[in-house]
Structure 1
């Protein structure tokens, strides 16, 4: 499941047990990306707080399905199959249009997001996400101006930036520790966006 020791749910005690109980899905399933933090529960707590607030918060204005598209795109660019599979499953559930979801994934896999069934503003966001992921030091104010020209407001640009930054963090957690999807239930997420403290996966 990973290259480092992981404490399973049934052996967890104290703070770790309480955190596991907060992030469980069906049958007390805990995603491996969370379990890989088990030797340092405080880092799991930080990870979940960031994930919940960046991707699953009711104050976001960008549709959650498109935030998931950005996550799948960044994860594909970072060659993180774990996050691609998890978040593509979540994207499909949120989008509720399998053909469109598959077409988006095909464009991502071909590294041609401009061919995806997305609107021009979303395609511009995909371009920003690529540059932020692959060449962040090359970003300039003109990249933000291009997002403005495409119709994004500053708060939305912040959402895009934070989702992309979060996924690069998550990808490196997974890739750097050998985290696999073995035993995971793909596509679950903390969907109670109105309560930042509700981390339960459904």
Structure 2
């Protein structure tokens, strides 16, 4: 159970309801997240609305986007986000082992470009002040500047979601919980749950 109550769709202003409904229906099993964001309709409208708009107008390969998100979420030990985004890596043909070992330097199943994205996401998350020009140059060999901006935006936004979800103690939706129960990933094991919960 989350630390604050769920807000139902009929409690939000009518102009925000389409974003609430569409995010709940189309973005993935994130209903519990939407119910918490709905406490602040402005945030729901703009943050979830931005994610929906980016999904409608993709400029990044979704495989690379999900590799970045799972990497960041594993570093931040956000069970909720790994459980929601890990299955998307499976949809792109990667194995459960990739999800579980995404932070391993020699993670099997990742090609050179996958590792470049993974390593950039890890560097930005662990020590953003030490992203080197050489790493940026390597990205430029494969991505446009606009793509690099979006990749960086999504990496840093992911840390926001990781922290928000964990602090609010969002309950996993059933679909994500099934994936999480089979986890051997770095985020598994309840490491992000405070011992004084309850």
Q: Same fold (TM over 0.5)?
A: yes
Aligned mates of 1:14, 1:59 — CA distance in 2: 28
Give the corresponding residue for 2:140. 148
Aligned mates of 1:18, 1:152 — CA distance in 2: 33
Aligned CA distance change for structure 1 residues 18 and 145 (closer, same or farther; 3 Å): closer
Work out whether residues 83 and 171 of structure 1, in 8 Å CA contact, stay in contact via their aligned partners in 2: yes
Give the paired residue count.
Answer: 174
Q: TM-score, normalised by structure 2?
A: 0.75
Give the corresponding residue for 2:97. 103
Q: TM-score, normalised by structure 1?
A: 0.74
Give the corresponding residue for 2:82. 84
Aligned CA distance change for structure 1 residues 140 and 173 (closer, same or farther; 3 Å): same
Give the corresponding residue for 1:191. none
Aligned mates of 2:150, 2:104 — CA distance in 1: 22
Does residue 132 of the first structure (1) align with residue 130 of the second (2)? no
Unaligned runs of 5+ in 2: 178-198
Moved over 6 A (4+): none
Aligned mates of 2:100, 2:23 — CA distance in 1: 31
Superposed, 1:10-21 pairs within 5 Å as 12-15=11-14, 17-21=17-21
Does residue 168 of the first structure (1) align with residue 166 of the second (2)? no
Aligned CA distance change for structure 1 residues 34 and 115 (closer, same or farther; 3 Å): same
**CA-based RMSD:** 2.6
Aligned CA distance change for structure 1 residues 162 and 53 (closer, same or farther; 3 Å): farther
Aligned mates of 2:115, 2:40 — CA distance in 1: 38
Higher relative contact order (Cα pairs below 8 Å, separated by 6+ residues): 1
Aligned CA distance change for structure 1 residues 36 and 75 (closer, same or farther; 3 Å): same
Aligned CA distance change for structure 1 residues 31 and 154 (closer, same or farther; 3 Å): same
Unaligned runs of 5+ in 1: 188-202
Give the corresponding residue for 1:40. 40
Work out whether residues 121 and 152 of structure 1, in 8 Å CA contact, stay in contact via their aligned partners in 2: no
Aligned mates of 2:98, 2:144 — CA distance in 1: 24
Aligned mates of 2:88, 2:131 — CA distance in 1: 29
Work out whether residues 75 and 125 of structure 2, in 8 Å CA contact, stay in contact via their aligned partners in 1: yes
Aligned mates of 1:80, 1:140 — CA distance in 2: 26
Deviation at 1:128, TM superposition (A): 1.0
Aligned CA distance change for structure 1 residues 153 and 25 (closer, same or farther; 3 Å): closer
